[in-house]
Every structure is written in structure tokens, then in C-alpha cells.
Amino acid sequence: MDFFVVNSKLSERNVKISNSNGLHARPATKFSEIANKYDSEIRVEAKGKNVDGKSIIELLTLGAENGTEIKISAKGVDSAEALDALEELVKSKFEEEFMEIRKGIAVSPGVVIRQAFLFESEGFRIPRHVIKNNEVEQEVYRLERAIEASKKEIRDLEIKVSDNLGSEIGAIFGTHRMVLQDVRLKSEIIERIRKTNFTPEFAVSLALRVYIRKFQDVKDSYLAERVTDIFDVERRLLRNLLGEKREELKNLAEEVVLVAHDLTPSQTAMLDTEKVKGFATDGGGRTSHTAIVARALGIPAVVGLGTVTSDVFGGDIVIVDGNRGLVIVRPDAETLATYQNKVKSIHVFERKLATELKGQPSTTADGKHISIFGNIEFPREIGINVDYGAEGIGLYRTEFLYLNSPTPPTEEQHLEAYTTVVRELKGKPVIIRTLDLGADKLPYLEHRKEGNPFLGCRSIRYCFENPSIFKVQLRALLRASALGKVKILFPLISSIQELRRAKQMVYETMEDLDKEKISFDKDVKIGSMLEVPSSIMISDMLAKECDFFSIGTNDLIQYSLAVDRNNERVAYLYCPVHPAILRFLKMAIKAAQEHNISIGICGEMGGELEYTIPLIGLGLKEFSVAPATIIPEMKKIIRSVTFDEAKEVAETIFKFDNPEKTKNYLSNFVSKILPEVF
């Protein structure tokens, strides 16, 4: 209970911290700012510590979290007024910024609560927020130098662009220079450094983000578009302030939720996967590299959030709900507690289920075996897949071998990656897919600009145009086949001729290895992806030419429905249970069965639990999924139904002409088996 003691020399009040994140940087800043307006000496006591209430650094050392009772004391002529103001601040929860709830696209399931690591295109991260009193003037000087350096860079750029493209285009950078010359802005930044002991980096980011939000709130579209100018100024200033001291994605100091506009393939390849526990991005879709990596790592991710990067400050508490597609920034106490309990209950359930089903076969209730394999991006993912019960690897994407290097990977680099996977699998099979990228994604190759790369020279088409690069990979794949159960999978096959041509290149490579007396599996299995409509329509013909099929539903759905899932205007049209897609799947499975070859699904549809039963009902016996953590849940579903029940479910959804009705029916069905998840 709050109380007030009047004393001629000393006044005190007890008040409880009630904001969700406690007395962290921003609340401490506000407390210090108000305390410094009064002449009285102000002290704050909590947890056995008594500190100077005017010093942000000392306030932070209290570690006063939500629920902590603090004693504020003031001594001086205006002590009563000071205590009134400080008590009101604490009771207002430090005028805490409202919780932000953003809805995006759920691309990797799970829930995580961590501090935000705000990563923008240059990879800036502010390593600390406050400085010592004796560092203030030195840091102000560093800011002034960074401003001057930034102005010179912009002026040079303005001249260069004006000379090359005309003064109208060059004037864009004149706007940037004027922002840096704004006396009020500079004063605000310096004031934050001097009065609150903020680092110049944090003061710059804080001040400019205020203006960014103001610009975003205006109705005038021209002014709203100027947000990018402010972002550019911020990045330039931060670059000149931080120099080489930037914290990189591959060397993080603590566990974080990575908040970014989007991540390039090369950036995702450099992640410190031990420290990144969740993703939240402005852009991206279910097939973006961020989404793929998140699923591969088994960490929650939500993408397509629009402008989440402008809502978040580094160090903010962020909740990523990868089940519902929500990102909650600065959660209030009630929301935080709810999610903390949810995380705890999910972990308990997952551990219990994994223990319960460990060593149990994935067979239907009437004894039909369904194989569950894992999808991986990196060799280091083998361990988690095996631990969760994967029978092998149904899709090893090899793109990161190409993306994480300034030059094409050598045969030995390929071989090292493949042999690592083969050895760690200890006899379990692995399907390795050949390069599935276009030249536009490979930094070391020249490429002709294509109007629509998605329909252009990529995947197997690119390999045919660049046989030397393709042969290097094929040699390594064949050499790895001598060490274990390796199968080769070709992507984007759209005709019989493409499959035959790819096989011919394998046979030619075998002849080369034979001449060099290098061992390989002469009976290595060769498969075709089914991921374009034409491949489905000729699946009966392709089945005569290969040993197995793997259905790539990600691209199949996009090509079939003419939907770019990364385009927020049409992403809602992407639908795995569209009647056309279901018919395609039925056709492909039937072709494989009639020609006695195996068929599996490696697209993300196979890893979405509500689709497990109808896919089994269609006759599918192999699933390759990510993240590995869903394998016990999938096994639970498989063991809960008979094949006839699964067949009945499949027959039922074929009668629906409304995909939403199909989704609701399947969700309701599987929720009875896994109520903890659905």
C-alpha cells in the first residue's frame, strides 16, 4: 500500500513497479529526466540497494522488475512536488508505450519470448544503451564527427548523382543533407546523450524513430514516403558511428528474436543458430529464405508483418507466436504472463509426447507403416531430426553450399557436406536435391536480367546451361553414394526430355569416375520433383524414367494457382486444399502406385498436421517434414487412425468445393487427436 511521510528534512513514498518490463532503460530514463527537474536530492531503494534517482545508470542497477516495491525519498525545498511527479510516473507505468500486436504470416510453428535484435540491411546493432558520466562529452564529440562525415558523404553523392543523372535526382540526397543540418534534430540527440547518458547510436535511433513514426502517421502519401529518407539518414549515421564495431548475425551475445525487414539467403547462412530463437520480418512469405531457415531450425517465425521494424527498438521484449501468425511488441503484464504459461505448457506437452512415442513406429491403427523423414538445409540439422524420430532425410537442400561462398563450391566442399550427412545418418537414407536456384541468386555469376525469374532459367534449366557447375555437384553426389544410402533428386522437371537429359549427365559422370577408379554406387536411385503442373500431368510417363517421386507442394501450388505467396495482395489465394491441388496429388500418387515407384511429399503441406490424414487417405506413404519437432505430433496422428478412416477423410474433402470448408473440417478432425496443439 502506498503511504506518504512528511518530514521537514526528508519525504518518502513506497510504490510498486507495475509496468510489464520493470525499471529497464526507457522507464529509468523517464524517471531520471523527471528527477533532474527538481533541486531536491532524490534516492531510490529496492532489493537492499539505495541509489541516486537522478542517475539512469544507478537506477538500472536496481534490477527492479514488475512487482518490485521501491522506496523513493526526496530531501530539499521541492521534495513534495518531486515525489508527486515521480509517484505519478510510476503509477502510470512510466507512460509505457502501448503494446503493439501485429498480424503476419505464420511460417514456422511455436512460441518464443525474447529481447529483440533489430537487424536492418546493413546489420546494425547497438551494443549498449547507456554510458558513464565521464564519457558524455567524448561521445557528443563522436556524434558530431559522425554527422560531419555523413554530410560529406551525402554531398559527394549528391554531386556525383547530379552529374550522372541530373540535378533533380541529385536533389534527393540534398534532402538527406538537410535532415542532418537540422539544428533541432541535432540538439535533441545531444540532449538525450547529456541528460540521459544514452550512447550516440541509441540517441540517434531513438530521435529519428520518433520522426519516422510521425511521417508514417500523416495522411499525405508524399510525406509518408519520406520515411525511407529518414531511414537512410539513420543508417548512414549509425554506419559512421559504429564503424567496424557492428555486432554480426554470426556472433550474437545473447538469445534474441531477430526482427528485420527481410533476410537475404547469404544473411540467413551466417546466422548464429544457437542464439536466434525466433524471426519477425516486414517482408517475406511462406517460401522466403527466412521461413525456410526458421522451419529447418525448428524456431517460431512470422513474416509479412509490414512495418514491424519501425515498431521495435533493440532490447524490446517481443513475443513471436508462430502458431497464430502474431508478433506482440512490448507485451503488457497480463499478456506476457499468459504467453509464459503457454510456452511452459507447450514444452511440457512436447517433452511428454516425445518420450511417450520414442522408439514407437509410425504405423496407422491397423498396422500400415508411414515413413517420416526430415527436411534439412545444413548438415548440423541431422542430430535433431534423428532425435525426434526421423527415419532419414527426405530432402537435403544444397542451395546454401552455393550461397555461403564468394565462389562456386568445389567438389571437395560438396563432398565434405554430403559425407557429413551420410555418416551422421548411420545407414539411414538421404535424398539430396541438386541446385535449385537461378543465377540471379548467385553473387559470383553474371546473369541476364529476366522479367520473371520464377518462370525463367533456374534449377535444372540453369544446370543445363552451366554443365561444369552441375558436373561438380554430380561427381560429389556419386562419390558420397559409395558411403551410404544416397538418392539424387532433380528439381523443376517439366518434361520427359529434361529428366532424360539430367540422367544422361549422371551416366556421363559415372563413366568419368569409373575411368578415374573412384568408387560410387552404380545403382544409385534417381528421382524427379513433381512441382509444376506439367510434371503432374505426365507423371505416368515420368514414372517409367525414374526410381521415385517427391512432390514439391510449395511451387506446385504457386504455379497451379498463379499465386505469388510473397505478394501480400494475392497471398490469400494460396491454398493447399484447393480442389485442383487435391486432384493433382491424387493423380501423382496413382501414377507412382501403378508403376511401382515410391512417392513422398517434401513441400511444407506435408508438415502441416491437419493434412496428414487426407494425404494418407490418398495413398501417400512417405512424408518429409520440417521442423523436426513436429515428428512426434505427426506420429501421434498417424497412430490414431486406420487407413480406412484416413481414406474416408480424403473422400469427404473431395466432395467440398469450398477450400475454407475443407480447412475447417480437417482442423476440427485433427484437433480431437491433438487438442493441445489445435
Amino acid at 392: G
pLDDT at 159: 83
- Which residues share a beta bridge with 276? 256
Beta strands in 520-665 (DSSP E): 525-530, 548-551, 598-601, 622-625
Q: Using CA of residue 463, residue 466, residue 469, residue 471, what is the dihedral sign?
A: positive
CB 50 within 8 A of CB 72: no
For 96, counting Cβ atoms within 10 Å of its Cβ (0-12 exposed, 13-18 middle, 19+ buried), the class is: middle
Which cell goes with 76? 530539499
- When pLDDT is cut at 50, 70 and 90, the band that residue 269 belongs to is low
Domains of the chain, start order:
4-95 (3.30.1340.10), 100-125+248-331 (3.50.30.10), 133-242 (1.10.274.10), 362-671 (3.20.20.60)
Highest mean pLDDT among 65-74, 116-125, 181-190, 291-300: 65-74
For residue 6, pLDDT over 60 is answered with no
Whether 414 has a pLDDT exceeding 60, the answer reads yes
pLDDT band at 231 (very low <50, low <70, confident <90, very high): confident
Specify the DSSP element, H or E, that contains 138: helix 136-165
Mean pLDDT, all residues of the chain: 86
For the ranges 13-27, 215-229, 547-561, the lowest mean pLDDT is seen at 215-229
Q: pLDDT band at 412, cuts 50/70/90?
A: very high
Q: Is 289 a catalytic residue?
A: yes
pLDDT at 4 over 80: no
The one catalytic residue among 24, 129, 289, 414: 289
Q: What confidence score (pLDDT) does residue 95 get?
A: 65
Region of poorest pLDDT, from 8-22, 41-55, 405-419, 430-444 = 430-444
pLDDT at residue 114 above 90?
Answer: yes
Parallel, antiparallel, or unpaired: how do β-strands 393-397 and 430-433 relate? Answer: parallel
Check residue 447 and give its pLDDT: 59
With CA atoms as reference, report the closest residue to 59 among 81, 74, 42, 75. 42
**Residue 400 CA: distances (Å) to CA of 289, 293, 379, 426:** 10, 10, 11, 23
pLDDT mean over 384-388: 91
Report residue 245's pLDDT band, with 50, 70 and 90 as the boundaries. very low
* pLDDT of 505 over the 90 cut: yes
Going by pLDDT thresholds of 50, 70 and 90, the confidence category of residue 5 is very low
Mean pLDDT on 283-289: 71
Class of residue 657 by CB neighbours under 10 A (exposed 0-12, middle 13-18, buried 19+): exposed
Q: 613 pLDDT band (50/70/90 cuts)? A: very high
The answer on pLDDT for 142 being more than 80 is yes
- What per-residue confidence (pLDDT) applies to 18? 85
Min mean pLDDT across 31-45, 118-132, 400-414, 650-664 is at 118-132
HEC string for 457-486: CECHHHHHHCHHHHHHHHHHHHHHHCCCCE
Q: What cell does 119 get? A: 537487424
DSSP character for 192? H
Predicted local confidence at residue 395, as pLDDT: 98
**Taking the model in full, what pTM does it have?**
0.67
More confident site: 547 or 118: 547
**83 exposed, middle or buried (CB, 10 Å; 0-12, 13-18, 19+)?**
buried
Q: Cα(170)–Cα(232) distance, rounded to whole angstroms? A: 15
pLDDT > 80? residue 172: no
- Least reliable range by pLDDT among 119-133, 515-529, 563-577: 119-133
Q: What is the pLDDT of residue 220?
A: 45
Beta strands 100-103 and 11-16, pairing class? unpaired
pLDDT for residue 678 is more than 90: no
Q: What is the pLDDT of residue 7?
A: 47
Give yes or no: 24 in active site.
no
Asked if residue 276 has pLDDT above 80, the reply is yes
144-148, 308-312, 392-396, 464-468, range with greatest mean pLDDT:
392-396
Share of the chain above pLDDT 90, in %: 51
